Amino acid sequence: MPNILPQITQEDIPLIQKMSHSLAFLCADMVQKANSGHPGAPMGLSDIASVLHFHLNLSPKDPKWLNRDRLVFSGGHASALVYALLHLWGFDVSMEDLKSFRQLHSKTPGHPEYGHTQGVEITTGPLGQGVANAVGMAMASKYALNLFGREIISHYVYCLCGDGDLQEGVSYEAASLAGHHQLSNLILIYDSNRITIEGDSSLSMSEDIQQRFIAQGWEVLSCDGHNILEIHNALTQAKASPKPSIIIAHTKIAKHALNLEGSHKAHGAPLGEELIIKAKAKLGLSPEAFYISDDVAFVFASMKERGELGVKEWQKQYKNLPQITQERLANMQEVDYSKIIYPQFEVGESMATRVSNGKILNAISQALEGFIGGSADLAPSNNTYLENAGDFPHGKNWHFGIREHAMGAISNGVAHYGLFLPFCATFFVFSDYMSPSVRVASLMKTKVYYIWTHDSIGVGEDGATHQPIEQLSHFRAMPNLLVFRPADANENIACWQVGLDSQMPCAFVLSRQNLPVIIPQSEELKAQVQRGGYVLASCENPILTLVASGSEVNLALRTAQALSKSGINTQVVSVPCLELLLEQPQSYKDELFKHTKVLAIEASRGLEWYALADSVICLKSFGASGRGEALFEHFGFSVEHIIEVAHQVLGHKA
């Protein structure tokens, strides 16, 4: 379906300016009524937003239409503009919702949140994330275009950003990848108002943005961000470019806000009722708060009709597709478990969980076309390459380069595109670089799968800088994120089965070193993992429970055998997902631990285990360089040391 270019002439300018002025002061009224918020950016962007209105193809009636344009606001402080536009376009955002801006339980929170407000494509959160989210959406659309053709995928991805977004490193990483892949439907509109919270941007920023993006392979355009025809012409040129485009729009923050125009003081505080009334009068607007004239409302409301026509045209194209292609489109994200043929792992084998995970990924990929992903230049170590699946933009293996920051945020954009289930991978210690995007994914309950390998001091010789210690506790503390740390290859399969069923992001924390396969495959294993933890080794009348995850489970088994031989009846509980276990009713935990003393063992910081355990053997320092097995011994993860601590827990005298 062709994306028809709008025509804007000199005669249209007065009406578009009236639209812009009305939009700007609707935002100012929202901030004023809330006595909280950011009027400056919405007012500075209102001219651009009013012109962009004529270029966008959205459908308020069908907001998830696959071929809609994507509009991402990387600067969440422009939220008043987001909500005002959604209201005027006909999305499920009422005038009363605008009047409830930033209030508890309103549809219009301080920063836009996906799933909370219809029409918000993604929660961008910290500055810079939205730029990378938009790159993810553009990458997803390029891959989808290669799968299904231009009749089905012909939309654009627009992203509005500011100085703060381009100062954050994540945007630079994402822009580099976008230029490398020539994402031609990506249009970044840079609100270059040269203002940050502390004052003029020259306090901390002096690079040539134009040359920076030229060096990254982008089309660079510029315009006066308050000149209607210049904005329109820049958008038209950007849509025709074979490259991703950035439009450097020179704007004034809080345009038309009298003495506050161009001032950093207008960024994050209400303008004041008196100033708003005077400014409205100067522009010939009604002094009434939240007033939109009929002619302005009519033009903005045309988005609804335009969107409905777009959807109908697209549906005609869809119906002309071969039946098999229609089925592929419909089933890209549908998990048919009967088609997944998981690998077979026999008890007694020895294999790192990163290796078994690679085999599991390939099994899922072969059964699920929409399952795609890649690594931050670590696929051979992460074991994440999908065999015989090709490379982006024509295949399922996406090479993110050494860009963990952008990889996480791009994956959020891919997940929100609507066709794909993405995974991304790196060493666990580098998950620190991904934390902002993982947090936002968790906030949205976005289905992204994180594969973090080299999970403990078992990394060995690379030393303390590469051995994750506190990361496991950090991500376990994050709401709406399931963190799986499987004990062996078969428990790894069950973790994936639970993860694919989950409606939230999942992380798989995996070993570098070989681990013995200690758990037989069974129908019950998935149900056991769904509860977070289960008795792996039982005994009669236990007085002690050793509880562990990952590589320490086998250590717990060996210790339990030694303790039981000495007359201390000891059971072992494997906990592949601590969050799921903590959610279980107390009756299940009582049944699991049988009111025994509980000793947790984990080669990480591990303080969260005190929610269940009487004592924890964990790391109290960073790691060191040496063979993995030597480090486990050195830091007290040995049968002998655990037995010693077990006696202390049980109150036995030395």
Catalytic residues: 404
Q: Given the DSSP bridges, would you call strands 350-351 and 515-516 parallel, antiparallel or unpaired?
A: antiparallel
Decide: 486 and 492 in contact? Cβ < 8 Å.
yes
- The answer to the question of whether 462 is labelled as a binding residue is yes
- The answer to the question of whether 127 is labelled as a binding residue is yes
What Rg value do the Cα atoms of the chain yield, rounded? 28
Sequence letter at residue 361: L
Sequence letter at residue 13: I
C-alpha–C-alpha distance, residues 209 and 215, integer Å: 10
- The answer to the question of whether 232 is labelled as a binding residue is no
User: How many of the other CB atoms lie within 10 Å of CB of 47?
Assistant: 26
Give the three-class secondary structure for 421. Answer: strand
Decide: 141 and 157 in contact? Cβ < 8 Å.
yes
Laid out side by side, the sheet with 157-162 consists of: 70-73, 157-162, 186-192, 245-250, 219-224
C-alpha–C-alpha distance, residues 349 and 329, integer Å: 40
- The answer to the question of whether 499 is labelled as a binding residue is no
- The answer to the question of whether 77 is labelled as a binding residue is yes
Sequence letter at residue 250: H
- The answer to the question of whether 267 is labelled as a binding residue is yes
- The answer to the question of whether 166 is labelled as a binding residue is no
- The answer to the question of whether 430 is labelled as a binding residue is yes
Sequence letter at residue 236: T
CA dihedral 123, 129, 131, 133 (to 10 degrees): -60
Residue at token pair 């993110």: 400
- The answer to the question of whether 164 is labelled as a binding residue is yes
- The answer to the question of whether 516 is labelled as a binding residue is no
- The answer to the question of whether 605 is labelled as a binding residue is no
Sequence letter at residue 277: I
- The answer to the question of whether 454 is labelled as a binding residue is yes
- The answer to the question of whether 546 is labelled as a binding residue is no
Element holding 615 (H helix, E strand): strand 615-617
- The answer to the question of whether 634 is labelled as a binding residue is no
CA dihedral 492, 494, 495, 496 (to 10 degrees): 90
Cα first-last separation, the chain:
79
Annotated binding residues, written as ranges, equal 38, 77, 125-127, 163-164, 193, 195, 267, 354, 381, 430, 454, 462, 466, 512
Annotated binding residues for Mg(2+), written as ranges, equal 163, 193, 195
Annotated binding residues for substrate, written as ranges, equal 38, 267, 354, 381, 454, 462, 466, 512
Annotated binding residues for thiamine diphosphate, written as ranges, equal 77, 125-127, 164, 193, 267, 430
